[in-house]
Amino acid sequence: MEELPKAGKEDFMIRYCTMTLLFSLMAGAAFGAQGTTVTYEVNGKPYQGYYISSSDSPPFILLIHDWDGLTEYEVKRAHMLADLGYTVFAADLFGLGVRPTEVKDKRRLTTELYEDRKRMRERMRGALEEAENRGARTNNGVAMGYCFGGTAVLELARSGSNLKGFATFHGGLETPEGQDYSSTGGEILVLHGSADEAVTLDHFAQLAKELESAEVAHEMITYGGARHAFTVFGSDRYHEEADERSWRRFTVFLADTLKR
């Protein structure tokens, strides 16, 4: 397994057991569909995702987590989507039990993937393969992500993935050197806060130019007063209006993009 955030073996086991229990409780909650914790491997290393399906063969959504790993936030979003009639696989890009709580560890884990885009792509492809193994119709799917996850979703779009759409909520928008959108086939939806100081409106405008130049179908929306991470419930950056409006737009995007 890859290096964990600096913590002893006991701390790792406590966090691993806590997250497993949390996912189990969420799966048994009063939702319209039942979810399950999924342990799977990518290149021989273990990861722990979350899979939920509302019915037989519904459209598919790959959900990529923020920089704190797959937590109850992504599980809640997965249930919200399942209640709308979708199959969702919330992927794990960090590794089994790796759920950083310290900023330095979050930054280290994401930086490792930002600096190794091949590995980032492999982990997303591995998650898609696991979803397929569980019956998900990935040929009728969309990828979506929050913050770090939104950045990863754009990486997946540039990789030439055959998903039909890619949606990023307050994610990083810069294109790594040497990359472009020439292999992107699906439509891109960007949902961004105008008051985001981490990902600026200059980044937003530059991405619009790149997508237009590559003739990639796209829609890009900014929300006034919304800062970075504006969809995170309960945080000091949460912006209720921007969260609700961006979610409504995303659900329309799904309905327009995916076949029932």
> Which of 139, 2, 159, 154 has the alpha carbon at shortest distance from 69?
2
- Count of residues for the chain? 260
Give me the half-sphere count of Cα atoms (radius 13 Å) on the Cβ side of residue 55.
Answer: 8
Counting other chains too, the contacts that 246-249 makes at CB distance below 8 Å and 24 or more residues apart are 246/169, 246/191, 246/221, 249/189, 249/191, 249/221
How far, rounded to the nearest angstrom, does the alpha carbon of residue 68 sit from its chain's CA centroid? 12
Which pLDDT belongs to residue 32? 61
Span 211-252, pLDDT tens digits: 999 999 999 999 999 999 999 999 999 999 999 999 999 999
Give 171: exposed, middle or buried? Use CB within 10 Å, 0-12, 13-18, 19+.
buried
The enclosing H or E element of 152 equals: helix 148-158
Query: Packing angle between helix 72-82 and helix 9-27, nearest 10 degrees?
Result: 20
Span 97-116, pLDDT tens digits: 999 999 999 999 999 999 99
Q: DSSP of 47-97, one letter per residue?
A: EEEEEE-SSSS-EEEEEE--TT-S-HHHHHHHHHHHTTT-EEEE--SS-TT
First and final C-alpha spacing in the chain: 39
Please give the residue that has the higher pLDDT: either 30 or 128. 128
Span 133-161, pLDDT tens digits: 999 999 999 999 999 999 999 999 999 99
- CA torsion, points 176, 181, 182, 187, in degrees to nearest 10? 160
Cite the beta strand spans of the chain per DSSP E: 35-42, 45-52, 59-64, 87-90, 137-146, 165-169, 187-193, 218-223
Q: Please, what are the domains in the chain?
A: 9-257 (3.40.50.1820)
> Which of 121, 75, 92, 110 has the alpha carbon at shortest distance from 5?
110
Q: Is 115 helix (H, G, I), strand (E, B) or coil?
A: coil
